[in-house]
Amino acid sequence: MNPLEQIIIEKIKREGPITFETFMDMALYHPEYGYYASSVSSLGREGDFFTSSHLHSIFGAMIGRQLYEMWQAMGNPSEFDIVEMGAGHGYLAKDIFDYLQNTTESMAAFLDSARYSIVEPYAHFEKQQRTVLGALQNQARIAWVKSFSELKDIKGCIFSNELLDAFPVHLIRMNETIHEIAVNYRDNKFTEEMQDVSSADITNYINIFSTGLPPGYRTEINLRIKKWLERVAAVLIEGFVLTIDYGYSAREYYSEDRTGGTLLCYHKHTLNESPYRNIGQQDITAHVNFSSLKLWGDELGLKTVGYCPQGTFLTAAGIDEMIVELYSDSADYVAEISKIKRLIFPQGMGDSHNVLIQYKGNKMAELRGFSMRNQVHLL
C-alpha cells in the first residue's frame, strides 16, 4: 500500500464514503503524492500518454499560426497575452516559438507583441519546461505563474491542450432516480456504493444535458469546468479561449450507446478502466462535454466562434500549406507525412480530439479553421 492509498483510506475511515470526484482529486492532485504533483508523472513516448504536441511539431506551428490570426482579428495590438494552461513538458510552447521566429516580417511583429505566460503549479514540470524552452526564454517574453489567480486583465488568448479531461468528475448511475457513486474501503479494497447526489448542481446538469437516460446508465459529470470558465472569463478582458481535448457534444456523450461512460486510466501507455489501482501513479481522464463549455461560456460572455474535430479544423486552417512550407524539401518527407496524418485522420487524434474557440469582446471574429462549413452543433 503506497502513502496516498493510506491517506485516502484514513479519510474514508474518518468521514465515511467519499464522492468519486474527491477520490479522483486526491489521486491526481494531492499536493505530495498525487499523480501530477509528484515527479512520477511522465508524458510523451516514454511516459504514460502523449498528446498532439508529442506526435509532431507541426501541431505547435499550427497553433502559432492560429494565435497570429487571433492577433490580426483583434487589430494587431501592441500587447497580446498568450496564456497556456497544462503545458506539460513545454514542447507545445517550444514548437509555437520555433515556428514564429522563422517566418514572415508580419509574424515577427506579432512575436514582438506577444507576452507568453505558462500557468504551472508544479515545480518539476516548470523545471522541465524551462529546460525544453532553453534559450527561447531570453529571446521571447515568457513568464511562469503558479496559479491562474496571479493573472489579470488578459487581452489575447487563453488556451489548453488536454487539460479539462483531467478535471475530477462526479460519477452517477441512473436507477429509479439519479444516484452518485461514492468510494468506500471494505475488506482491504476500494469499493463503490450508491448514494444520493452530493449537490443539486448534479441534478440540474442532468436536466440540461442528459435527460431520459435509461436505468443502469453510468456516466460522468464535470462540474469543475464551470468554475474554470468563471475564472477564465473573470481575467479575460478581450480575446479568445482555445480548448482542445477529448470529448463530444452532449448528444454524443450521453447517447444510449455509451452506457458505461468515458472514464479511462493510463499507465505507461497501457489503457485500463480501474482507477483503484496504481493510485497516484496513473492518469485518470474523462471526456469533455463540449456542450457544457458552450452553454456556460455563453452565460459568461464567451461567444462560440466555432467547434469541430481537430482534423477538420487543422485542414481548414491550412495544414497542407504548412506541410509544403516546412517539409517539401525534406529528405524525410514521407516519414513526416505519416506522423502528421495521425493528427488529422479519423482513425487518430483528428477525430478523437475536438477544437472549441470562444471569444469575449465587442465584435465576433471569424477564423479560418471554421471556414469550410465543418462546424458541429453543440446544442
Which domains, from first to last, does the chain contain?
A: 3-370 (3.40.50.12710)
Residue 360 has what pLDDT? 97
Which of 189, 2, 180, 39 lies closest to 122, judged by CA?
Answer: 39
pLDDT of 49 strictly over 60? no
Instruction: Check residue 373 and give its pLDDT.
Output: 62
Out of 28-32, 57-61, 197-201, 335-339, which region has the weakest mean confidence (pLDDT)? Answer: 335-339
Alpha carbon distance 256, 26 (integer Å): 31
| Mean pLDDT comparison of 14-23, 135-144, 320-329, 335-344, highest-scoring range | 14-23
Residue in 114, 255, 93, 115 with CA at minimum distance from that of residue 161: 93
Query: How would DSSP label each residue in 292-359?
Result: HHHHHHHHTT-EEEEEEEHHHHHHHTTHHHHHHHHHTT-TTHHHHHHHHHHHHSTTTHHHHEEEEEEE
pLDDT at 41 over 80: no
Q: What is the pLDDT of residue 325?
A: 85
The arithmetic mean of pLDDT across residues 160-177, rounded, is 96
Strands 142-145 and 154-161: unpaired
pLDDT at 43 over 60: no
H or E stretch at 265: strand 264-267
Strands (E) located in 162-222: 170-174, 178-186, 189-195, 218-221
What are the pLDDT digits (tens) for 51-103? 777 778 999 999 999 999 999 999 999 999 999 999 999 999 999 999 998 77
- Tell which residue, 123, 135, 125, has the closest CA to residue 98: 135
Q: CB count, 10 Å around CB of 141?
A: 14
Dist CA 216 CA 210 (whole Å): 14
Neighbours of 319 (CB within 10 A): 21
For range 252-257, the mean pLDDT: 92
Among residues 320, 354, 355, 356, the alpha carbon closest in space to that of 340 is found at: 320
pLDDT tens digits, 107-165: 889 999 999 999 999 999 999 999 999 988 877 789 999 999 999 999 999 999 999 99
pLDDT the model gives residue 160:
97
45 vs 40: CA distance, rounded Å: 15
Q: Enumerate helices (H) and strands (E) in the chain, giving the number of each.
A: 16, 16
Say what the pLDDT of residue 33 is.
96
d(CA 217, CA 66): 39
| pLDDT digits 0-9 by tens, 22-40 | 999 999 999 999 999 987 6
Estimate the crossing angle of helix 91-100 against helix 58-73, to 10 degrees. 60
Q: What is the pTM of this model?
A: 0.94
pLDDT for residue 362 is more than 70: yes
Closest CA relative to residue 211, chosen from 174, 263, 171? 174
In whole angstroms, give the CA distance from residue 193 to residue 107.
56
* Among candidate residues 265, 275, 294, 264, the one with its CA nearest the CA of residue 354: 294
Alpha-carbon torsion 308, 350, 324, 91, what sign?
positive
Among 145-159, 261-275, 295-309, the least confident range: 261-275
